[in-house]
Structure 1
Amino acid sequence: MTTLRVGVIGAGEVAQVIHLPTLSLLSHLYQTVSICDISLHTAQHCATKFHIPRATTDPLEIINDANIDVVFILTSDEFHAEYTIAALQAGKNVMVEKPLTLSIPAAQRIIDAEKKYAKGRVFVGYMRRYAPSFTGAFLREVASIPKILYARVRDMSGPNAFFVSQSGTFQVKSSGADIPDTAVETRNRLLDELYREAFPNAPNGVVTDAMKKYCRFLGSLGSHDLSLMREALGGLTPYSIDGVSVNDPFYSAILSFRDGKQNEFAVMYESGIDCVADFDAHMAVYGEKKRVSIQYDTPYVKGLPIKVRVEEVNEYGEKEVREIVSSYEDAYTAELKEMYDCFVNGKEIKTTAEDAVNDLKLYDAMYRKAGW
């Protein structure tokens, strides 16, 4: 069996709590050979803990390393496009955590690079779409609804630190003392460029703090939920945004859809972060005689099941309730196994850069509805 050699750029929370442990457990498929972080202390900590031969602060050492097959880009959002394009230019396959990036022009630059250099492929990390209970029971049960009347997408994730602290991964965080000022300047410059691209019609050319927060929020929780919604609804996109509420840290929207038979229905999207330790991330689809929902638990604690609940009217006119767990395998493990099949065996990638652009187009429509 071919073992893919991995170089990781970004050694923060998602690397330490999710990807590095998962890669270690999938050692028959992947071997992590190099890790990079803006903080050398953090990179060295991860290299020691996860038995990675090399630690560096220079992403180009990973991107240009001929011994690396796949580059994992786990940095903050503003670096995604720059490092993805550089890795594609070097002929590497790329796993980039969602969001692909924060603006449509930046995403298009990634797509253009993938086509131009043609050796590497881009896999975007929408892990909820690879959960076995989603790809199995949920999509199967939704497909049995003759006519969708309504849907709801909800993500109230609670304080992340509460779940991470109980994940058993004991992450280390940089104090910032070993991060050079030039790196902070680069980060701010890239962010400003992405904000200007995301809001080209900002009043008086000023991208406000509220706009920036909305952009970052949709790139974090929103990219999970709205991407999941698109696949669950068979790739449909809303024909109109009927309303948005921007009230940091809570956001909502009403989206209008039309299926292939010209039946219309609305989707309510609501999301936010508070201090109540309850991870409520779910999608529900309503038909006339059947409701199907999928409930995700925090991904930061392995082994928590993703459940599908079916409520329907049975042949006796009674309410019948079923709960389905297709698998206890966590979504990140399923995702990386699927990615291996794509990179090694040529399987078609469903979470491509082109697919991710559909989320960015939806964000853009939501920005415009908000008056931006």
Structure 2
Amino acid sequence: MSTSLLRVGILGASDAVPAIYLPILHTLQKQYHLTIIYDPNSHHAEACKAKFNITQTTTDIQEILHHPDVDLILNLLPTEYHEKYTVAALEAGKHVMVEVPLCMSIQGLRRIRDAIKKGQAVRAHRAGDGDGDIINKPKVFMGCVRRYAPVVEDVFQKELASLGRVYYARCRNIAGPIHNVAGMLNGTTSADDTNGTSTHSAAEFHAILSEIFGFPEDLTPDRVAFCRWLGTMGCHDLSLMRETLGFPNAVSSVSITDPFYSAIFHYTGTKHDDHPFTLLYEAGVDAVPRCDAHLTVYGERKSVSLQYDFPCPGESIGEGRMVRVVVEEGVDGDGAEAVNGNGCGVSNGNTSNGVARSRVKKTETVSSCEEAYTHEFMALHAYLVDNVPAKTSADDGLQDLKMLCMIFEHYDRQCGTIRTPLG
């Protein structure tokens, strides 16, 4: 394997692949070479090949998994195929990048870890190197682009550290238009729709959920819909929450009114402060073409909001999408602002009753979505080539799974479906 240029095989050519992933990878030609792309619809794969100078296309996944000139496989297939083809790629001795969640169950994570061990032996034998050659050992990297936006580490994390006591937090992700997102939530790519394989995709997803919940009768439409959301867009929210605020201590409420979902998380504090607070998570899909998504944390004198406007499926990465950190801070007034009869500040700058009001100082820092994806792929390259630790490794994925289990377990209690030895 090259020590600098990673040769890439791509699984999937759905709308997001030519709109987001391939344009970014095409700008990183010193780090990545696009060797081969798979899609069950050959027309979609050929269109990607022609536009982004990909060497080869295939409609056979096995051809990518065992391609001698592929070092890294990007598993961009729907959630139900994350574990299946990540395991297959690892056992074939390939590195894998797969979008969060890595898988949907603890059992699935164990199978992925077993595949990493098997893949080490396969790769070492094929390359003829000793076990000590770290580069030849397959690794897993989870894609969660929100966590790699420059403003997250450079601004948001630092502002949280200076916030003091956290009183409340809110995470929202309401996306649209519904016709763009519906295919993703149903587990279908454009190729799935063309080839009539969406029924097979749904069956794969139900099989995964059966392993999680254990009883077929527990796979209610609401539960399936919520899991589909968590397995696509929702886990990106949870992973960001966990990195910035830490792991929650409990869940007290889950509401499912498909296609809208909410949950209340309880924290005993953050790594910067030990006061308890709650976080409201609200998410869903409607027909309005916008991305209403943010993580906002409220302190006594300051609120910090991370607002992310990533493209909807099919939208180009270069359409002015941004990630913003907005800080609103109370600043002591100097008597220049009066209070009206409703207790609100008067904007004319006069002090009619002699009561000074604090004013709000608002600052905004911006990163582009292109920067976020570029930082993510540079972190992936450093992880695989230079052995620089990655914050979205398979071990990190375990924490996402624990968070999913916490949600599922509370929903069981809330619905009265926990089974005891008495039934």
TM-score where L is the length of structure 1: 0.89
Q: How does 1:185-196 map to 2 (within 5 A)?
A: 187-196=201-210
> In the alignment, what sits opposite 1:40?
42
Q: Distance in 2 between matches of 1:244 and 1:19?
A: 33
Partner residue of 1:21 out of 2, 11, 23: 23
C-alpha displacement of 1:262: 4.1
Q: Which runs of 5+ in 1 are unaligned?
A: 164-171
Q: Give the letter for the 2:227 counterpart.
A: C
Q: Distance in 2 between matches of 1:112 and 1:174?
A: 31
Q: Secondary structure at the match of 2:295?
A: strand
User: CA-to-partner distance for each residue in 1:305-347, whole Å, 9 max, x for gaps?
Assistant: 2111111123555422111225674321221111111111111
Q: Distance in 1 between matches of 2:241 and 2:267?
A: 11
> In the alignment, what sits opposite 2:390?
349
C-alpha displacement of 1:67: 1.0
8 Å contact kept, 2:178–2:288:
no
> In the alignment, what sits opposite 1:127?
145
> In the alignment, what sits opposite 1:335?
376
User: CA-to-partner distance for each residue in 1:12-57, whole Å, 9 max, x for gaps?
Assistant: 1221211111111212211101011122222222222222121111
Q: How does 1:284-303 map to 2 (within 5 A)?
A: 284-299=296-311, 300=315, 301-302=317-318, 303=320
> In the alignment, what sits opposite 1:136?
154
> In the alignment, what sits opposite 1:221?
233
C-alpha displacement of 1:94: 0.7
> In the alignment, what sits opposite 1:276?
288
Deviates more, 1:314-323 or 1:48-57: 314-323
Q: Give the letter for the 2:283 counterpart.
A: S
Q: Say whether 1:98 aligns with 2:100.
A: yes
Deviates more, 1:314-323 or 1:70-79: 314-323
Deviates more, 1:272-281 or 1:321-330: 321-330
Q: Distance in 1 between matches of 2:198 and 2:361?
A: 56
Q: Distance in 2 between matches of 1:154 and 1:184?
A: 29
Q: How does 1:130-279 map to 2 (within 5 A)?
A: 130-159=148-177, 173-174=190-191, 176=193, 179=195, 187-200=201-214, 202=215, 205-233=217-245, 236-259=246-269, 262-279=274-291
8 Å contact kept, 2:310–2:322:
no
> In the alignment, what sits opposite 2:74?
72
Count residues in correspondence: 357
Q: Give the letter for the 1:89 counterpart.
A: E
Flag the 1:327–1:189 CA change in 2: closer, same or farther, 3 A: closer
8 Å contact kept, 2:149–2:375:
yes
> In the alignment, what sits opposite 2:126?
none
8 Å contact kept, 2:40–2:192:
no
C-alpha displacement of 1:104: 2.6
Q: Distance in 1 between matches of 2:87 and 2:14?
A: 21
Q: Distance in 2 between matches of 1:344 and 1:184?
A: 37
Q: Give the letter for the 1:197 counterpart.
A: E
Q: Distance in 2 between matches of 1:70 and 1:42?
A: 21
8 Å contact kept, 1:133–1:327:
no
C-alpha displacement of 1:363: 2.2
Q: Give the letter for the 2:160 counterpart.
A: V
Q: Distance in 1 between matches of 2:111 and 2:43?
A: 32
C-alpha displacement of 1:222: 0.9
Flag the 1:160–1:126 CA change in 2: closer, same or farther, 3 A: farther
Q: Distance in 2 between matches of 1:222 and 1:175?
A: 22
> In the alignment, what sits opposite 1:166?
none
Q: Give the letter for the 1:107 counterpart.
A: L
8 Å contact kept, 1:132–1:329:
no
Q: Distance in 1 between matches of 2:262 and 2:81?
A: 27
> In the alignment, what sits opposite 2:405?
364
Flag the 1:116–1:147 CA change in 2: closer, same or farther, 3 A: farther
Structure of higher RCO (CA pairs closer than 8 Å, 6+ residues apart)? 1
Q: Which runs of 5+ in 2 are unaligned?
A: 121-136, 182-188, 334-357, 418-423
Deviates more, 1:38-47 or 1:288-297: 38-47
Deviates more, 1:28-37 or 1:259-268: 259-268
8 Å contact kept, 2:178–2:286:
no
8 Å contact kept, 1:41–1:174:
no
> Sequence identity, in percent?
39
Partner residue of 2:328 out of 311, 315, 322: 311
Q: Secondary structure at the match of 2:236?
A: helix
Q: CA RMSD in A?
A: 2.3
Q: Give the letter for the 1:29 counterpart.
A: Q
Q: Give the letter for the 1:210 counterpart.
A: D
> In the alignment, what sits opposite 2:90?
88
Kindly name which structure, 1 or 2, has the bigger radius of gyration based on alpha carbons: 2
Flag the 1:326–1:137 CA change in 2: closer, same or farther, 3 A: farther
Q: Secondary structure at the match of 2:322?
A: coil
C-alpha displacement of 1:186: 5.2
Q: Give the letter for the 2:360 counterpart.
A: K
Q: Give the letter for the 2:239 counterpart.
A: S
